[in-house]
Amino acid sequence: MVGQQPAVKSSRGLAVKSSRRLAVVLVSGGVDSATILAIAQHDGFDCYALSFDYGQRHRIELEAAARVALALGAVEHKVVRVDLRALGGSALTDDAIEVPESPSEGIPVTYVPARNSVFLALALGWAEVLGAQELFLGVNAIDYSGYPDCRPAFIEAFEALARVATKAGVEGKRFRINAPLIELTKADIIRLGIELGVDYSLTVSCYQPDDHGRACGRCDSCLIRREGFEEAGVADCTRYAS
């Protein structure tokens, strides 16, 4: 019927009236993921936010992810538990490895082995369940810490994988991995988010926040965030422990 909105179903089985396309958006609770969710909403998608409780040291970011998903109007916010702490190998998942408070050469110890590969694989699975073909994530290849799974080559390779690794893909549907922040500076990301109405006071970026969610101000993620606000000419709304 002309003018009637098609019904889609969330993973909770609830009918959702929508005339828009569906997208799964990875939301960690930080600056980049909040901006990417705002972009997907602005581009006309019904957004299904996906976060991961993976044993991260800064688990309080999940509270920020919930705030961001609610504030930006996600249709649903799902938190999936994946125990990457069982593997270790990162300062974010292994208490025996300290979070560095100064820049380091090469790939830093805050890199979590295969994290984005695991996250995107699960996001792809949820997209198949929902009937969505668009995935959004906030990886960045300029103001980032040297992680190999934040580069354009990784995004292109995973998109190719999705075409051959899924039922929907072999049946002719094409999944698209959207990473529009990948070549922006942190300042550019913040300016864009402000234009889209993102409230960055809801977000958490610190790798070692205190029990109240206040940032340390010293880790690599804090430094990149603070410099981004300074360069963007935007007041830093981060709550610091000191």
The whole model's pTM is what? 0.89
Question: Is the predicted pLDDT of residue 19 greater than 70, yes or no?
Answer: no
Average the pLDDT over 45-68 and give the result.
96
**In-domain check, residue 100:** yes
**In-domain check, residue 160:** yes
Domain with residue 117: its CATH number is 3.40.50.620
Question: Is the predicted pLDDT of residue 238 greater than 70, yes or no?
Answer: yes
**In-domain check, residue 44:** yes
Per-residue pLDDT tens over the stretch 152-164:
999 999 999 999 9
What mean pLDDT is reported for the chain?
Answer: 89
Instruction: Please count the structural domains in the chain.
Output: 1
**In-domain check, residue 30:** yes
Cβ-in-10-Å burial (0-12, 13-18, 19+) of 214 comes to middle
**In-domain check, residue 81:** yes
**In-domain check, residue 3:** no
Parent domain of 194: 19-232
Per-residue pLDDT tens over the stretch 119-140:
999 999 999 999 999 999 999 8
